[in-house]
Amino acid sequence: MFELIRTHRRWMQFILLLLIVPSFVLVGMQSYSSFIDSEVELAVISDQGIKQSEFDMAHRNQLEQFRQRLGSQFDPAVLDTPAMRQQLLDQLIDQRLLAMVAQDNRFSVSDTTLRDTIAAIPQVQEDGRFSPERYRQVLAAQGLSPTSFENGLRRDLAVARVLEPIGLSASVPQVVVEDIQAALTQKRSIQLRRFDAADYRAKITITPQDLQTWYDANKDSLRVPEQVQVDYLVLDEAAATQGVQVKDEDIASYYEQNKHRFGTPEQRRASHILIELPPGASQEQRTAARERAESLAAEAAANPAAFADLARKSSQDAGSAAQGGDLGWIAGGSVPPSVAKAIAELPKDGVSGVVESPFGLHILKVTDIKPAVTKPLAEVKDQITSEIRKQLASARFAEMATKLQGAVYDHRDSLQPAADALGLKLRHASGVTRSGLLPASQTEGPAASGSADSALLDNPRVRQALFANEVLREKQNTGVIELTPDTMLALRVADVQPAHVPPLDKVKSVIEARLLDERAAQAAHEAGEAALKTLQADGGTEGFGPVQTIWREQPSDLPRSVLDAVMRMDPAKLPGYTGVAAGADFILVRLDGVEAGQSQPDDARNLARQLAGAWGEAEDQAVLNLLRDLYKVKVMPPAAAVVQGDQPAEG
């Protein structure tokens, strides 16, 4: 948050966040005293405490924001972690701390600044200008009044000013910027020699004792989490469409009612002569313009073949006059209604009288007509059949959804009655855990991870439902879970397999593959290290590939570890040699040359801004740490339990 208040632009982003997603962490000073003194305190700032109820409220709102943002993919197990809860507690502490500093030092915001800040929020503007009506509508949608929002915003702007000067003054010495820019653009010529682990696999032998020893020492890494086998039903568009028949008479009727959709409407090409009539023209100007237009209309009607020449000579539409007044093929809405109506009523090569529009006075000629063309029924029959089937399926889907809800609850211990009632296939899958789907090698029966329904079964809402107590332990049906408007699931746990370590014979192949990988990688690394020692002593290029030039911004396809090793090599010692692990492989590097790179002035300016931003963040944090010391911030023992989830906050 503190990065956002470093400049006025970032102020706007900060304020917009407060408007669109009401703040759940900034608490007014008056509200601090509203908590019961005996309530558990998670932190104390001077003599003020942050109560657990404050944390709980912020925690609930944070999870609700994630839930709204992620929809069906919301998974508390992924988002509600100790790290996230610690971050939230730190935010509450820092925001309370800044509010106290602002109050103690009498930070304030003028009415003019407040008005300008609100007026600059894009969501309360219309056509780029502040709209009072839009402002009230946006606040009402969030359940806020202008008075309460403005009071809160004034307080938040005052709090923002505590750190604002720090960010505005943050800068990095130019010599540092230049050194970093030089490092980013410096080019290095290198050659590579790779020791592939795969080349050593054939020389490695894995004995039964090796397998047993590894198994005994690494059992915990082989532990398979608690998993369930599930029966489930899927109601989707395919299920609702199955068996739907479309009659020929329905297709014919649909075709007749929608003929306009199955073809090309009539198209007309037109030209015009325009006599301009400016807005607010006097009666004298209007009379003169109409007399001129009437004269041109009479001349055009007398000799339609010369219409283009007349347009070139007399039309005041500079855009079309050079083309003989040609307006092209007239599309809907491309010309004023009065002009479109006149064009529609003219025959080919017909010339109109004077037609008035907001642009002036027109004389029109239709130069070409493409008649409407309707595709025959046989050509669009498949399209119509698909559309009718979808309409029927939509109605059937709603009916089936209602039946599914009832059948699932009427027979809580089985999904088979629901499957029979709706004609759905009862499906089966195994290997569903609280946190995801297990690979087929760790499951028995049809693995959910290899199923066509894997995305449905891995949905966080589905997994949460399966591990609810009445579903997991009592083997009751879940409710009907609506994942999307056209996809519903109902599930039941058929069997539960507790967490366990598989016996050796079940994981023998897995251990053998792992040992083979580890030892092949070790052999490759040892061979590479030995070659590196020889090269550092005697030099040479044997086994190296062609010379290539790389730099930080153009690393070619080098792994990051190799690139970092190359850029750390001493340019004063050429040729130089180094070696680095790249996954299971080992790569030797020969450094042949170093040259300064080229950069543009804009690159240096952008880098300076980025470095200043990072420097400002570091200074912000340093000031916050200092303020924590000055205001004697203490994190109380109960906070550890809340952060770890041993005494979970509400949410």
User: Where does a domain end: 323, 341, 371?
Assistant: 371
pTM: 0.54
How far is the CA of 227 from the CAs of 79, 189, 391, 447, 613, in angstroms?
21, 53, 40, 11, 47
- Any domain includes 182: no
Partners of 363 in the beta sheet? 273, 354
Neighbour tally for 403: CB within 10 Å: 13
- Any domain includes 535: yes
The pLDDT value recorded for residue 10 is: 44
* 489 lies in the same domain as 563: no
- Any domain includes 142: yes
Contacts of 621 (CB under 8 A, 6+ apart): none
For 198-240, the pLDDT digits (tens) are 999 999 999 999 999 999 999 999 999 999 999 999 999 888 8
The pLDDT value recorded for residue 587 is: 95
* 479 lies in the same domain as 522: no
For 147-163, the pLDDT digits (tens) are 888 888 888 887 777 77
Task: Give residue 36's pLDDT band: very low, low, confident or very high (50, 70, 90).
Answer: very low
Q: What angle do CA 504, 508, 512 make, to 5 degrees?
A: 135
Task: Give residue 249's pLDDT band: very low, low, confident or very high (50, 70, 90).
Answer: confident
Task: Tell me the average pLDDT across 276-294.
Answer: 89
Parallel/antiparallel/unpaired status of strands 351-357 and 360-370: antiparallel
* 10 lies in the same domain as 63: no
Task: Tell me the average pLDDT across 266-284.
Answer: 89
| Residue numbers of the domain that contains 114 | 43-169+632-644
CATH number reported for the structural domain that contains residue 54 in this entry: 1.10.4030.10
Is residue 346 helix, strand or coil? Answer: coil
If residue 45 lies in a helix (H) or strand (E), which one and from where to where? strand 41-45
* 24 lies in the same domain as 77: no
Parallel/antiparallel/unpaired status of strands 267-276 and 576-582: unpaired
* 154 lies in the same domain as 194: no
The answer to whether residue 8 scores a pLDDT higher than 60 is: no
The answer to whether residue 34 scores a pLDDT higher than 50 is: no
Q: How much is the mean pLDDT over the chain? A: 85
The answer to whether residue 467 scores a pLDDT higher than 50 is: yes
Please count the structural domains in the chain.
5
Is residue 325 helix, strand or coil? Answer: coil
- Any domain includes 651: no
